[in-house]
Amino acid sequence: MEPVSVDLRLEGHASSASVVVGMEGVTTSTEDNVLVLQITAPTLREAQMVLDAALAALNEAQTAG
């Protein structure tokens, strides 16, 4: 089975890139003020778990201020 890859663009979140740098399965880049997350995993379920963890970390950082 082919690995699963999901790209997510978050407008206005480029400054939050450091929050998810180093997370397993997550590659980040920035374009202007856009944070681009590339999630890669062996299965859809694992991709969902990685995506959920990355979004939770970003949400926590945003909430903390």
User: Residue 50, Cβ neighbours under 10 Å: how many?
Assistant: 21
How far is residue 7 CA from its own chain's centroid? 8
The count of structural domains within the chain is: 1
pLDDT digits (tens, 9 = 90+) for 28-59: 999 999 999 999 999 999 999 999 999 999 99
Concatenated DSSP letters of 21-63: TT-TTEEEEEETTEEEEEEEESSHHHHHHHHHHHHHHHHHHHH
CATH number at residue 14: 3.30.1370
Q: What is the value of pTM for the model shown?
A: 0.88
The predicted pLDDT at position 22 comes to 93
Structural domain span for residue 10: 4-64
Helix (H, G, I), strand (E, B) or coil at 15: helix
